[in-house]
Amino acid sequence: MLKKCMGNPSLIIPTEDIGIKDSLYYEEIPVVILDCQVCKLRTKEVASFKDLWRNQLFEEATRESKEVMKKRYPHLFESGEVPN
C-alpha cells in the first residue's frame, strides 16, 4: 500500500549545479568471439556471432555478416582463431 510522503525541498539539488558533459559517451566493445553459426535464409546466409563484451557479465549474441564484423572490430579477426 502506498503512503503519502512529504518531501523536503532543501534536499533537492538543482541540475544546473551538477556539471554534466555532453561529450562523454560509453562504447561497448566485443573482446572475444566465442561461437559462430551460419543461419540459412531463403536468399542468403547470415553469420551469427556469440561475443563476450567488455564490462558485461554475460554473453550476447549479435547477428551480423562476417564482413561487417571485420570492418567494425578488426582486432577480433587478427589472430585467425574464429570458431566455426
Q: Where are the domains of the chain?
A: 26-76
pLDDT one-digit tens code per residue, 21-73? 778 777 788 888 878 888 888 998 887 778 777 777 666 667 677 788 888 88
Residue 2 is predicted with a pLDDT of 61
Task: Give the closest residue to 59 by CA, choosing from 25, 24, 34, 22.
Answer: 34
pTM reported for the whole predicted model: 0.51
Residue 46 is predicted with a pLDDT of 80
In whole angstroms, give the CA distance from residue 28 to residue 1.
40
Task: Give the closest residue to 49 by CA, choosing from 60, 78, 80, 58.
Answer: 60
Cell numbers 563484451 correspond to 53
Residue 42 is predicted with a pLDDT of 92
Asked if 29 and 54 count as a contact pair (C-beta separation under 8 A), the reply is yes
Give the number of other CB atoms < 10 A from CB of residue 49: 22
